[in-house]
Amino acid sequence: MAAPAQSPGTSRRALVAGSVGNFIEWYEFGVYGYFATVIAARFFTPEGGGEVEALVRTYASFALAFFFRPAGAALFGRLGDRIGRRPVLILVISLMTGATTLIGVLPTYAEIGALAPLLLTFLRVLQGLSAGGEFGGAVSVMTEFAPPGRRGLYGSWQSFTVALGLLGGAGAAALPATLLGTEALHSWGWRLPFLLALPLGSGALWLRLRLDETPAFRAEGEAVRPPPRAVAAAIALGAARVMGWAAAGYTFLVVLPSYLQSSLDASFRQALVATVLANLGFAATIVPAGWLSDRVGRRPVMLAGALLVTVLALPLLNLLQDAHMPAAVKGAAVCGAGAVVGLMAGPGPAMLAEMFPTTVRYTGLGLSYALSNAVFSGCAGLIVTETTERTGNLDVPAYYAAATCAVSALALLPSRTARTRKPV
């Protein structure tokens, strides 16, 4: 990853331009998750359909978008490794903004029948493709522009803007839910957060148009690419290392509102408050964890987060299920859950970037992240909702988060990636 030194101003501009697309991406994904029950009623509930059935279909559409993320990571990653990070990041933010805005004006099932969920799913596919191309390019830009010894800190801003995006989505969902009545919210109020993506995305596009190409990509030239088998092995290992981050993050930060409503009879507003607290805890630890990983290594920080989720997921969920537990204690618990996930999310981007040389970095780290998220984030809502409904076991979310983090902990054990070492 060696490249000519950059001025502090250039590095900071690259950091902002690289992270702003992640904010838009996760703002949108957060809004979709927070409005899952509303979207289920508007798009996936034909006459006679049940609420749980509609919610499962909503999460199936949610998962489908995630399964297109690896395709986007492969397509845009290959372009980004050949023609540069800048032009591809401009393309993906434009695609993401357009698809998100169109969801806000989409006719519902009551207006156009079965075409409504099909169009919604198509737009989700476009979002999945663009989101798949976003991560690899954004992390490449942040880490390749990072000053020496600060890749963990710079890379952590990718995860931090994820938290900001989820918080922004929660705030955008909570505002109409608070100011509008239930009828107005279900009729047209849910559209407002999606339409807000247009000005947000336009601002992100302007920043990326002013972005320079990364020094590492310019310096690499026509360097020899590593063997495909070695790249594939690194992608598989990278996906295993971040699967716990992906699964626990989505379980605690996005799926939680619908779980609290459908399984624990919480109100929409109570569920949103819990989610905001979880995301606040998540945001609070990400950048410090990235900073710490520059000093003690990526592995110990990420391993601590994975092991803590493995041990604490079930006690946390049991606490939320206790009707006699004070609200303040429950709030502190969900905030702590988010904070533990932040220990994995902070060093994660830099850890993935250091696993691949410049010639395949956009593709390699993008596919590692996208594959893990496609399986373990995109399916989180579907798995939790369907399994809980079929078994009646309210502990399913805890088992899911703990099992995936246990696998990540095992994958992290042989890691040699530490502090600011060269790519492996």
Q: Rounded to whole angstroms, how far apart are CA atoms 239 and 361?
A: 14
Cα distance between residue 171 and residue 152, in whole Å: 28
* 3-state SS class at 42: helix
Angstrom distance (rounded) from CA 174 to CA 177: 5
Confidence of residue 10 (pLDDT cuts 50, 70, 90): confident
Where is pLDDT greater, at 349 or 212? 349
pTM of the model: 0.82
Q: Of 125-139, 192-206, 244-258, 362-376, which gets the smallest average pLDDT?
A: 244-258
Q: Where are the beta strands (DSSP E) in 220-355?
A: none
Task: Please check whether residue 421 lies inside any domain of the structure.
Answer: no
The whole-angstrom separation of Cα 99 and Cα 121 is: 11
- Please state the domain count of the chain: 1
Structure tokens at 331: 């709030």
Asked if residue 418 belongs to a domain, the reply is: no
Whether residue 262 is contained in a domain is answered as yes
Q: Is 110 helix (H, G, I), strand (E, B) or coil?
A: helix
Rounded to an integer, the average pLDDT of 402-408 is 95
Residue, of 359 and 378, whose pLDDT is higher:
359
Domain of residue 103 covers 8-412
Interatomic CA distance for residues 265 and 66, integer angstroms: 28
Mean pLDDT of all residues in 233-238 = 94
Is the model's pLDDT at 299 over the cut of 90?
Answer: yes
Token couple for 55: 């919610």
Domain-embedded: residue 100 = yes
* Residue 30: predicted pLDDT: 73
Of the listed ranges 13-22, 33-42, 301-310, 351-360, the one predicted with least confidence: 33-42
Q: Residue 424 falls within a domain, yes or no?
A: no
Average pLDDT over residues 351-362: 93
- Whether residue 423 lies inside any domain: the answer is no
The CATH number that applies at residue 98 is 1.20.1250.20
Q: Mean pLDDT over residues 17-32, rounded?
A: 80
Query: Is 229 inside a domain boundary?
Result: yes
pLDDT, tens only, 383-392:
887 888 888 8
Domain assignment present for residue 350? The answer is yes
pLDDT in tens, 182-232: 788 888 888 998 898 899 889 889 989 988 888 888 887 556 778 889 999
If one compares 48 and 281, the residue with the highest pLDDT of the two is: 281
Query: What local confidence, expressed as pLDDT, does residue 362 receive?
Result: 94
pLDDT given at position 301 = 96
More confident residue, 49 or 7: 7
Cβ neighbour number for residue 407 with a 10 Å cutoff? 17
From 10-24, 250-264, 310-324, the region with the lowest mean pLDDT = 250-264
Identify the DSSP state of 303.
Answer: H
